[in-house]
Structure 1
Amino acid sequence: MKYADVILPLSLANSYTYRIPQDMQAALVAGCSVIVHFGKRRYYTAIVLEVHNRQPQSTLEVKEIYALLDASPVLRRPQLRFWQWLSEYYLCKLGDVYKAALPSGLKLESETAVSCIKDFEAQFPLRPAEQAVLDAFSDGQKLTVSELEKKTGLRNVVSTLSVLLTYGAVEVQEELKKGFAPKLETYVSLSDEYRGHDALQKAFDLLKRAHKQELLLVAYLDLSHILNPTLATEVTKKELLQQSECSVSVLDGLVKRGILKYYDKEVGRLQVHISRLQPPQPLSPDQEKAYADIHESFKIKDVCLLHGITSSGKTEIYIRLISEVLSLNRQVLYLLPEIAITTQITNRLAKVFGDKLLVYHSKYSDNERVEVWNKLRAEKKPLLILGVRSSLFLPFYDLGLVIVDEEHEPGYKQQDPAPRYHARNAAIMLANMHGAKTLLGSATPSLDSYFNALTGKYGLVSLNLRYGNTQMPQIIPVNVKELKRKKIMKDALFSPILIDKITEALNNDEQVILFQNRRGFAPVIECKSCGWVPHCVNCDVSLTFHKFRNQLVCHYCGYTYQLPPVCPECRESDLKMMGVGTEKVEEEIASLFPAAKIGRLDFDTARTRTAYERIIDDFDGGKISILIGTQMVSKGLDFGNVSVVGIINADSLLNYPDFRAHERAYQLMVQVSGRAGRRDKSGTVILQTTQPEHPLIQMVQRFAYQEMAKMQLTERSMFRYPPYYRLIVVVLRSRNEAVLQEQSLLFAAKLREKLGDRVLGPVSPPVTRVQSLHIKKIVLKIEISANISLVRKLLEAVQHEMQMNSAYKQLLVHFDVDPA
């Protein structure tokens, strides 16, 4: 008897053993996807972890695998090993990794289906809702719950179905639903009986009185070249209608006559439309040196950090390295921290690599992501995959190079749900499993990577000149506290020098970027009379006012309600708006420069891929003169006509309760400053602050990265923070605050028994309640040399001991390794 251990897409640590039916035994191997029955009435797509002959040591019945989805493995070597490493290092369940790894289109889902009992006769009058549900069924038809809700217009059809079930009027069963649907396109072809010159003449004789159909047939012959077999090509329905300028009814008429016919054909969604590929740009002497240094580094190191200042031309070096790896018939993964950056770089890479480029991220439809997955699984071709952190899970054939661009970005760290992995570190491990090299690139490297480079773990290559010898922008700190004291600014957002620089840029047909790292109009609303501040009902945060929607919004859970006309506490109408968001900046700048074309780039305006691309294209094409945005505008974008950057409030970046606050503030300010003057002239950055003498502001002004790194590393060594120690945060959440307090103290005490002063807390985070759950955190500071598997065993042992306590079951607990 053969058995298979399978992984389920559930938050479960274990694999589960199933019997393999006789007819599947020859085809089933590790990495295949199968359908299994799990629980009372549910079916899941499982991944085979191992095939073996070991009899399970269990008194329970061993279920049989229900179906084999695909005879060829859905995973490639070494994906399962990579999944297991992620599970072990980031202290999460293997099922969590599976849920994150595969696009949902590759999973069969169990969906409730309902059918009507034919012979049912009601013994008494049914309610209108009950009758509406029964009337929705045709003979023998099965409908899902969601389909019934659409057909009947009932909001909650489940309660009605429950009643009908007790009457015996309907029956419910679980049916498997296929997630991925291939994209089909309708094509047109000439019917077989009308092929050939004589047969075609008969067709035209039939159309003597149907002038439009005759014109459409001529258009088809012209497009298809069907009379010349060497040039013959397929014609889509859409293409034919556009070329002929005829309506669908005219084409349908030809099909009814039997002259033309329709057929559907599966087409890919991944075509890159580039008419002519361009060769890579020649490298400058400084880039050539960096390129050669990277090669030398890769001879002795598997990982190299490229520290290149903004606009130094790191992307051209990446392109040269990618070309080299593709020529060796190997694959390349190019990682970016966020979807936002992919638009510009996609166009740039497509011009060089054409159809060798694939793009993979969550703003693509599920069907598009499945096509990328299937293309990689089916083909052993040299391909370049551009994606965000989820692209680490793709089935690569043979990775030769992984590029982690903007490697310092916190967007590489997955927050929720599990696995809470850091894509940069996971990429290094994945590359190692493939025998590939990893190149980390940034103008402001993370201190973790920079420390690894300084200590010899990584190679280090520097690129210190901007491409074309363009000068770094001039950064001018402006003391807004002093300007307000002298009543020069008063309630204004912009200093006089910033207004002057914007005016000068607009007069010269140049562009401006204004950076404010808060979206919305006002972060806080307060009643002047009684001090009332609107708070979220689910989270322990004040609500942000969004003027465009006239709503108060929670940026943690999405809770909204309309801004009240008067204070609900004292009934006064004097509500004061405090703080500044991007909407407020946009309103103020529009009043100062009414003739300027203004755009805003934040989460509210760029929720979809097309919206983001439109804003970026409009700014790149000169349709927008002033772009206002959050940190989205700082992330690796390349605009040649930006001469002025304004940082509206630098202090908000400095004053944050996090040991990485100054590192992040430096990175953000330098990155957004780097958007200015990227071509043939130096730009200007106006940095508004109340602390112009602050050491970090001074370092930003001088672009003194090494000085900042030395200062921060010294502090972290003293206080036992990364990169000298590894942090593991135990996050405990519960609706019951008293139980959370008691159990978190007990958990920390048990950890302290084994780990001593390495355990800090429990402490409350800055936001103590999110989505109705109170939060406590226990921080572990573990020596960097410690074995993570031993730490995992210790944490699991303490958690198992805690689970003996019934009160602990009221908590949600997870571990966050290397928190961002």
Structure 2
Amino acid sequence: MALFSQVILHIALPVPLRRLFDYLLPSELETDAIDVANTIEKVTIGQRVVVPFGRQTLVGVVLAVDTHTDQDVAKLKPALSFVENQASFDAAQLQLLNWAAEYYQHPIGDVFSMALPGALRSPKTIDEQLPKVLQKCDELPDKQALPKNAKQIHKLYDVIRSGSFTRDELNKKDITSTTIKKFIDKNWAEWTTSGQGSSAVTASHINEGLALNTEQAIAVAAINAVNHHQCFLIDGVTGSGKTEVYLQAIEHRLLNQWQVLVCVPEIGLTPQTIARFKQRFDVPVALWHSAMTDKQRFDTWQQTRSGKARIVIATRSGIFLPFKSLGMIIIDEEHDASFKQQDGFKYHCRSLALYRAHQANIPVVLGSATPSLETLYNVEQGKFSYLQLQRRAGGSQMPTTHLLDLNRCQTQAALGQPLIDEISNQLDKGRQVMLFINRRGFAPVLMCEECHWLTECGRCSSFTTYHKNSNLLICHHCGFQHPTLHQCLGCGSTRMTPVGTGTEQIESNLANLFPATEIVRLDRDSTSKKGEFDDKLNKINAGQPMIIVGTQMIAKGHHFPNVSLVGIVDVDGALFSSDFRAAEKLSQLVVQVAGRAGRGSIKGQVWLQTKFPEHPVIQDLVNNEYKDFAKYALNERKMLSLPPYSHHIILRAESTIPDLGQQWLSNLSGYLSDYEGLSILGPTPAPMTRKAGKFRHMLIIQSQSRPYLHKLVNWLLENLDTIQKDNRIRWSVDVDPVDLS
């Protein structure tokens, strides 16, 4: 046999194992010892390859090729085939993903698989996935030679004479598949791959922007003056015109023929954002988020890779896209927790953006009215440049804040009477009112009035939320659903009553209080169908008097100029959390929601309802600015040696056996307890001890030195199978956690 086995492929596979897998070359590429060096040169790092794995066939990525292996060469299997001769990842992506897998302690094959669009996780080539267009062939006859009464044939003839069209475009022109097939069979037309090239951006592609105030002009000038890696924080009050600063900074990059990535925290922000970007720039603007189909995501991936897409507006996973000429990254609402992936590969988009920008030597712009304490700490340390926008753009004023003590007033529909009166007053003036409550459904729980039994989720340490419209009890943690109970499972009583308030109940009660006023509800339930969210946004932007009721979906980034009053229905639940970040998250949320008021010519007002008006966080929100809270909170974190003045990694363990996770983590902590410079917190039950039938425990490892912490945890994970293997445990690692639940 030829000595082709000397060439070893080191492949990342989409399996939950922290290692590469060694394979031989596919059998059709076997070579002799003389050609080994040439063969290695022909294999491209970043190529996708099909390999056998147990009884499965998997698509992996070649990350190294050489003549060395730690395995017995005789036992290595050959790969089945290379998917194509080109790499699916460029050098910058390979470096980014290798770093991400190492830093976040996640299986490398899973990281590479996640960075591919779904269409490329199968053994199909990139060329096979490219969009096809129908174009005319040289054999297309003169029109006079066509049958005179064949209207469809004449119609398609006229269409393809004018250019090339996708199948969707032909469908919109009412061209039938039969007619298309007839043209192809006669060699009058053919399907070809559409061009993916990019064209130069000129001043004619850019519409004039808004006039900048002094603060905005300084920010734009500072960003545009930089042609190397630098991170800017734009700390701008709500309505201060951060987006206009982004747009004018983007203009400078586009005219220098760069691409720009704009990351937003929520899918809900993309329609409004993309409309504004397309209005300003006559260049290809692409979208990337989880609600897109595999085909749509592949199209964005390919347009980004070819350089055709000049601006990409994306949620967190857009940070992995393969840009041809990336010139700047913008992270809007950088404080938002949704930039941290909470399941599977637990990465943070902001951290990866900073690494990628450093790698490409380009600027990063972070924007927020309520910057995270980690970002403010980096400003304090001189790592980030600080740009402030302290005035609202266009002359609009900051809203007035009112504290409503629910202990001292009558309530209707979960609203204090003074707030109801003010809502009525604003509606009479033709204005819009927004009410925020961070609980969807009708009520958080149903309760028996006889024995006080509550509708609990059988799989979680939680209650099922009552959804009146769908007549269901739903657990918002594991997704369990059950038809609404009309009889207590504890005592058999039929006196079941909803306890607490959700968006459905607020909407229903407001309809009774204000029967002549339109109520628009914005939450995940009311916008689940395609197009519903955009329809509701268009209705709000029409400016007619109405009441908008919503969850966090309405809190971020939206510009509703006719909203004069914002009511925050209930913040008390967040005041007594076990999470040390709770006060920060609450302050950010309240400031962001309040920022929806008075963005037009009307001075807005914010009403904050609470039963704990003397609570220091509430007093801080009412009497001071966010920067005052942040300064106090950073000092508090410093005294307690909490992040960002220290670093955390959480080891989580889940099991169907109640105390097994705690025992498993306790044994692990013993291996770390002798090391200096480490604080071991736990193991403790997670705040939600049981979720989806699994009992959850966690161990927090803390250190002042990030490299030291990573080194020790990396050692622990590498030796985990030797130290302590238990197939009854499902464990995960969370580096730099933002949620302790």
1:734-745 counterparts in 2 under 5 A? 734-745=655-666
Corresponding residue number in structure 2 for 1:430: 356
For residues 22-53 of structure 1, give each alpha carbon's deviation from its aligned partner in whole angstroms, at most 9, with x where no partner exists. Answer: 648364210111111111x3111111101223
For residues 55-88 of structure 1, give each alpha carbon's deviation from its aligned partner in whole angstroms, at most 9, with x where no partner exists. Answer: 5542552222211112111101211111121112
Match of 1:31, SS state, is coil
Corresponding residue number in structure 2 for 1:153: none
- CA 1:15–1:717: 2 relative to 1, 3 Å: same
Corresponding residue number in structure 2 for 1:335: 263
- CA 1:447–1:242: 2 relative to 1, 3 Å: closer
Which stretches in structure 1 are left out of the alignment for 5+ residues? 110-175, 208-212, 227-231
Match of 1:98, SS state, is helix
* Superposed displacement of residue 277, structure 1: 5.8
Corresponding residue number in structure 2 for 1:103: 117
Corresponding residue number in structure 2 for 1:292: 221
For residues 367-414 of structure 1, give each alpha carbon's deviation from its aligned partner in whole angstroms, at most 9, with x where no partner exists. Answer: 11112222233x246722210111111112232211111000000111
Which stretches in structure 2 are left out of the alignment for 5+ residues? 1-5, 31-38, 199-203
Corresponding residue number in structure 1 for 2:573: 652
**Is the Cα–Cα contact under 8 Å of residues 634 and 672 in structure 1 kept in the other structure?**
yes
Corresponding residue number in structure 2 for 1:365: 293
**Is the Cα–Cα contact under 8 Å of residues 553 and 560 in structure 1 kept in the other structure?**
yes
**Is the Cα–Cα contact under 8 Å of residues 461 and 691 in structure 2 kept in the other structure?**
yes
How many Å separate the matches in 2 of 1:545 and 1:656? 23
- CA 1:691–1:67: 2 relative to 1, 3 Å: same
Corresponding residue number in structure 2 for 1:6: 11
1:758-777 counterparts in 2 under 5 A? 758-777=679-698
- Give the counterpart of 1:81 among 92, 95, 102: 95
Corresponding residue number in structure 2 for 1:416: 343
**Count of matched residue positions in the alignment of Structure 1 and Structure 2:** 718
* Superposed displacement of residue 786, structure 1: 4.1
**Is the Cα–Cα contact under 8 Å of residues 105 and 179 in structure 1 kept in the other structure?**
no
* Superposed displacement of residue 193, structure 1: 7.4
How many Å separate the matches in 1 of 2:269 and 2:60? 34
User: 2:741 aligned with 1:815, yes or no?
Assistant: no
**Is the Cα–Cα contact under 8 Å of residues 182 and 266 in structure 1 kept in the other structure?**
yes
Question: Which stretch of structure 1 is more off in the superposition, 319-328 or 512-521?
Answer: 319-328
For residues 118-147 of structure 1, give each alpha carbon's deviation from its aligned partner in whole angstroms, at most 9, with x where no partner exists. Answer: xxxxxxxxxxxxxxxxxxxxxxxxxxxxxx
How many Å separate the matches in 2 of 1:768 and 1:724? 28
- Give the counterpart of 2:207 among 278, 281, 284: 278
- CA 1:689–1:179: 2 relative to 1, 3 Å: farther
- CA 1:437–1:2: 2 relative to 1, 3 Å: same
How many Å separate the matches in 2 of 1:366 and 1:269? 18
User: 2:209 aligned with 1:195, yes or no?
Assistant: no
For residues 470-510 of structure 1, give each alpha carbon's deviation from its aligned partner in whole angstroms, at most 9, with x where no partner exists. Answer: 11011111111111xxxx22x54112232222223322322
- CA 1:465–1:33: 2 relative to 1, 3 Å: same
* Superposed displacement of residue 650, structure 1: 2.1
For residues 721-766 of structure 1, give each alpha carbon's deviation from its aligned partner in whole angstroms, at most 9, with x where no partner exists. Answer: 1110111111011111132332232222332233576001111122
**Is the Cα–Cα contact under 8 Å of residues 108 and 179 in structure 1 kept in the other structure?**
no
User: 2:578 aligned with 1:673, yes or no?
Assistant: no
1:62-81 counterparts in 2 under 5 A? 62-81=76-95
Question: Which stretch of structure 1 is more off in the superposition, 275-284 or 300-309?
Answer: 275-284
- CA 1:238–1:333: 2 relative to 1, 3 Å: closer
1:422-461 counterparts in 2 under 5 A? 422-461=348-387
- CA 1:728–1:587: 2 relative to 1, 3 Å: same
For residues 678-715 of structure 1, give each alpha carbon's deviation from its aligned partner in whole angstroms, at most 9, with x where no partner exists. Answer: 12221111111122333322332345122101221122
Match of 1:355, SS state, is coil
* Superposed displacement of residue 802, structure 1: 3.4
Identical amino acids, percent of aligned pairs: 32
How many Å separate the matches in 1 of 2:529 and 2:609? 31
How many Å separate the matches in 2 of 1:262 and 1:624? 55
- CA 1:236–1:337: 2 relative to 1, 3 Å: closer
* Superposed displacement of residue 643, structure 1: 1.1
- Give the counterpart of 2:313 among 340, 364, 386: 386
Root-mean-square deviation over aligned CA pairs: 3.2
- CA 1:236–1:344: 2 relative to 1, 3 Å: closer
* Superposed displacement of residue 442, structure 1: 0.3
Corresponding residue number in structure 1 for 2:249: 321
- Give the counterpart of 1:310 among 238, 242, 252: 238
For residues 302-328 of structure 1, give each alpha carbon's deviation from its aligned partner in whole angstroms, at most 9, with x where no partner exists. Answer: 211110110100111111111112222
AA matched with 1:810? R
Corresponding residue number in structure 2 for 1:46: 60
**Is the Cα–Cα contact under 8 Å of residues 341 and 637 in structure 1 kept in the other structure?**
yes
How many Å separate the matches in 2 of 1:382 and 1:191? 31
Corresponding residue number in structure 1 for 2:35: none
Corresponding residue number in structure 1 for 2:24: 19
- CA 1:658–1:714: 2 relative to 1, 3 Å: same
Match of 1:505, SS state, is helix
Match of 1:743, SS state, is helix
* Superposed displacement of residue 264, structure 1: 4.7
AA matched with 1:368? Q
Corresponding residue number in structure 1 for 2:476: 555
* Superposed displacement of residue 423, structure 1: 0.8
How many Å separate the matches in 2 of 1:439 and 1:516? 31
AA matched with 1:283? L
Corresponding residue number in structure 2 for 1:35: 50
**Is the Cα–Cα contact under 8 Å of residues 750 and 798 in structure 1 kept in the other structure?**
no
Match of 2:585, SS state, is helix
How many Å separate the matches in 2 of 1:512 and 1:755? 56
AA matched with 1:388? T
For residues 215-268 of structure 1, give each alpha carbon's deviation from its aligned partner in whole angstroms, at most 9, with x where no partner exists. Answer: x666567656x5xxxxx445788878877xx8969x869969x99977556669
**Is the Cα–Cα contact under 8 Å of residues 331 and 384 in structure 1 kept in the other structure?**
yes
- CA 1:704–1:247: 2 relative to 1, 3 Å: closer
Corresponding residue number in structure 2 for 1:636: 557
* Superposed displacement of residue 628, structure 1: 0.9
AA matched with 2:730? L
Match of 2:732, SS state, is strand
* Superposed displacement of residue 785, structure 1: 5.0
- CA 1:254–1:266: 2 relative to 1, 3 Å: closer
**Is the Cα–Cα contact under 8 Å of residues 197 and 308 in structure 2 kept in the other structure?**
no
How many Å separate the matches in 2 of 1:77 and 1:626? 51
How many Å separate the matches in 1 of 2:473 and 2:180? 56
- CA 1:62–1:467: 2 relative to 1, 3 Å: same
AA matched with 1:451? Y
How many Å separate the matches in 1 of 2:60 and 2:638? 45
- Give the counterpart of 1:746 among 659, 662, 667: 667
Match of 1:809, SS state, is coil
- CA 1:179–1:220: 2 relative to 1, 3 Å: closer
* Superposed displacement of residue 291, structure 1: 2.0
- CA 1:264–1:15: 2 relative to 1, 3 Å: same
Corresponding residue number in structure 2 for 1:594: 515
Match of 2:659, SS state, is helix
**Is the Cα–Cα contact under 8 Å of residues 720 and 781 in structure 1 kept in the other structure?**
no
* Superposed displacement of residue 515, structure 1: 0.2
- CA 1:762–1:220: 2 relative to 1, 3 Å: closer
How many Å separate the matches in 2 of 1:38 and 1:295? 50
How many Å separate the matches in 2 of 1:818 and 1:620? 39
**Is the Cα–Cα contact under 8 Å of residues 229 and 364 in structure 2 kept in the other structure?**
no
User: 2:324 aligned with 1:397, yes or no?
Assistant: yes
TM-score, length of structure 2 as denominator length: 0.90
How many Å separate the matches in 1 of 2:207 and 2:649? 47
How many Å separate the matches in 2 of 1:192 and 1:682? 68
Corresponding residue number in structure 1 for 2:439: 518
AA matched with 1:421? Y
How many Å separate the matches in 2 of 1:240 and 1:406? 40
* Superposed displacement of residue 660, structure 1: 0.8
How many Å separate the matches in 2 of 1:28 and 1:442? 45
How many Å separate the matches in 1 of 2:71 and 2:170? 65
